[in-house]
Structure 1
Amino acid sequence: MLTLSACGNREARGDYPAANGNNCLPDVSLIDQHGAAVSLASLKGKPVLIDFIYTSCASTCPMLTAKMAAIAHQLGPALGADVTIVSISLDPEHDTPAELAKYAKSHDADGPGWIFLTGPPAKIDQVLALFNLRRTRESNGSITHSIEAFLLAPDGHQIRQYSALDVSPAAVVEDVDRARNKG
């Protein structure tokens, strides 16, 4: 459930105040698209924009990744230097590091500062729980999931939540810039 504020018309853009006070970058290690272990806690220190996808999704995940790619493009050299994008697999049973690397390359998402993560299903579920999310596998193999994205402050706490297919890349970049300037 989202909590909406009454400030301006931001909600119409799919951009909401964070409704979750959890530390979303705990000391949990996952595996990136290059096969390296990455502790989520190691990402603290700069804003992190995070979403959840899986590589065999033929519907919303490619659209979500395209939206994140547009945001990455607008961030320019700040991506990697001042902000990180993290896409976590919802299908760790199938999304190996090699599959994530292939997906990233095919979606123009393989530049510096954008990390794709997978890991044991229990760890993925642990991370999803921090965001008050869960994944459900349907009988056809697809995964029902939220298409939310989240902006985390340098301390790992959520500061914005997005209806990722509705929000404009410019609105997200504005939020990232504000978070960078506070950090």
Structure 2
Amino acid sequence: MKKRLSSLFVIMIVATILGACSNYKFKPDVNYPIEDFTMTDHRGNTVTLEDFKGEPWLAMFIFTNCTTVCPPMTFNMTEIQSNLIERGVEDYKIVAFSVDPEFDTPEVLTNYLSLYPVPDDSKWHLLTGYDQTFIEQFALDSFKTLVKKPADGGEVMHMVTFHLVDEKGTLVKNYSGYSEAEGGVPFDTIAIDIKTLIEDRLGK
């Protein structure tokens, strides 16, 4: 009898959790329209904001000469993509804006990406093809985030945030993209949010 009650209790807990997940509704934290842009991705293709519309995309600001936070941020992004693949999510993009465009040519960005265990590189767009002044102002205006190259030539300063942009080209949520504390990057939450955005768009 006790075993039956225990089994029933476990089943009820699982059912409650699954029900909560299925009823999850995405709620944006911010509402910042991304300014239109024309850039070059790591494949040498010209891309614009319009090219990214129709699907949600996860963005970050990095540079290939970074020796501190950029490598773990990029690795964390590959982990998020693995999570998306496990959940059967297909309609999304991953976008990385270089904050050192003078050095980060398409060839340099391609080599950089090859150093990481990227599950599906067709979803990735590492962007360059603009000047330093532009990316600093673009980051501030569209993502409300800091990008600044020191006058003394030191490493470019930037935030360690992952930015979720919806299918209309509006920034809707921000997450930690790097943390030394265990569990600091919300991998599951990001994947669930992206999946939910897609399902909401499709009316599922």
The normalised TM-score by structure 1 is 0.82
**How far apart are residue 140 of structure 1 and its match?**
5.1
Q: Is the 8 A contact 1:88 1:117 kept in 2?
A: yes
Corresponding residue for 2:165?
Answer: 152
Deviation digits for residues 127-148 of structure 1 (CA, Å, limit 9, x no counterpart) = 3121112322233520111111
Where do 5+ consecutive residues of structure 1 fail to align? 1-15
Deviation digits for residues 20-40 of structure 1 (CA, Å, limit 9, x no counterpart) = x2212x431110001111012
Corresponding residue for 1:28?
Answer: 37
In structure 1, C-alpha distance between the alignment counterparts of 2:95 and 2:69, rounded to whole Å: 17
Instruction: Compare relative contact order (CA 8 Å, sep 6+) and give the higher one, 1 or 2.
Output: 1
Corresponding residue for 2:148?
Answer: 136
Q: Which is richer in helix?
A: 2
Write out aligned runs for 1:1-183 (5 A): 17-19=28-30, 21-24=31-34, 26-76=35-85, 81-109=90-118, 111-121=121-131, 122-129=133-140, 130-138=142-150, 139=152, 141-165=154-178, 166-183=184-201
**How far apart are residue 126 of structure 1 and its match?**
4.0
Structure 1 residue ranges (4+ consecutive) displaced by more than 4 angstroms after TM superposition: none
Q: Secondary structure at the match of 2:103?
A: coil
Q: Secondary structure at the match of 2:96?
A: strand
Count residues in correspondence.
Answer: 165
Where do 5+ consecutive residues of structure 2 fail to align? 1-26, 179-183
Deviation digits for residues 105-128 of structure 1 (CA, Å, limit 9, x no counterpart) = 112346111110012124423431
Alignment RMSD (CA, Å): 2.0
Q: Secondary structure at the match of 2:122?
A: coil
Q: 2:136 corresponds to which letter in structure 1?
A: D
**How far apart are residue 17 of structure 1 and its match?**
4.9
Q: 1:176 corresponds to which letter in structure 2?
A: I
Q: Is the 8 A contact 1:153 1:159 kept in 2?
A: yes
Q: Secondary structure at the match of 2:110?
A: helix
Counting aligned pairs with the same residue, the percent is 29
Report which stretch shifted further, 60-69 or 129-138.
129-138
In structure 2, C-alpha distance between the alignment counterparts of 1:42 and 1:111, rounded to whole Å: 17
In structure 1, C-alpha distance between the alignment counterparts of 2:186 and 2:47, rounded to whole Å: 29
Q: Secondary structure at the match of 1:76?
A: helix
